[in-house]
Amino acid sequence: MNVERLSKRLSAVSNFIPEGAKLADIGSDHAYLPCHVVKAGKVPYAIAGEVVEGPFQSARKQVEMEGLTKQIDVRKGNGLEVIGVGEVDCITIAGMGGALIATILEEGKEKLKGVKRLVLQPNISAISIRLWLLGNGWSLIDEAILEEDGKIYEILVAEKGDPKSVYTEKMENQLLFGPYLSKEKNEAFIDKWTAEWNNWDRILKQMSQSSQTTEKIEKKMEIQKKISMVKEVLGE
């Protein structure tokens, strides 16, 4: 892959990295993102962290191939283990589940001292990240949602601050849909939640055809509540 032309998803992530930031990209895979922003002159220095041997070696090869070994340090380790306190001021974590990203942040909390910005791109369960930010003094300052190759991705951008400041009295809805995304309601947002609605409808039909236990009744009520929330946000 030509790092000068990132995928639409990683390009959107890179847009939220501040100029001149010292970056750590956690779960960097081939280190495409740090290579891109360093080559473009957006950041002077980056760490590419990988826990799996194969992607770690791929990242090292990519950085060597791009001639960026003095500006990008490829490190092997789990989550935020690869950085020292105060070493970076921006962290990106992209291409994982939201629950895993939240776990990485929770387990590496001590390493977040001095970090000014988090740019997080979950493949699923963005709500897990919003809940973690809410409970840990990080304010959501922006969000994006986009479609690429038939998949829909959300990006969450956070800085230290009052985590409740972006939420209104409809916090439960906004934690699920995103306070910024549910205002904008772009095409990707509508497509995502229409698909979720259809999926939940299908599950409800399947559940109604089987014997009803207390657990199933509770599950049905939970799904029906989510469908109501989707209907409200989509204005249907």
pLDDT digits (tens, 9 = 90+) for 139-191: 999 999 999 999 999 999 999 999 999 998 899 999 999 999 999 999 999 99
Among 35-44, 73-82, 137-146, 163-172, where is mean pLDDT lowest?
Answer: 163-172
Give the pLDDT mean for 208-220. Answer: 84
pLDDT digits (tens, 9 = 90+) for 105-125: 999 999 999 999 999 999 999
> Would the pLDDT of 89 be above 60?
yes
> Would the pLDDT of 67 be above 70?
yes
> Would the pLDDT of 233 be above 80?
yes
pLDDT at 4: 63
Chain-centroid distance, C-alpha 142: 12
CB contact at 8 A, 138 and 146: no
CATH class for domain 8-167?
Answer: alpha beta
Which residue spans within 123-172 are E strands per DSSP?
138-148, 151-160
Among 135, 98, 101, 137, which residue's Cα sits nearest to residue 25? 101
pLDDT digits (tens, 9 = 90+) for 177-202: 999 999 999 999 999 999 999 999 99
Identify the DSSP state of 210.
S
The letter for the amino acid at 59 is: A
pLDDT at 117: 98
Chain-centroid distance, C-alpha 119: 7
> Would the pLDDT of 2 be above 90?
no
Distance in angstroms (rounded) separating the CA atoms of residues 136 and 161 = 10
Which residues, at least 6 apart from 142, have a Cβ–Cβ distance to it below 8 Å?
16, 157, 180
Give the pLDDT mean for 45-50. Answer: 98
Give the pLDDT mean for 35-53. Answer: 97
pLDDT at 214: 84
pLDDT at 130: 98
Distance in angstroms (rounded) separating the CA atoms of residues 22 and 28 = 15
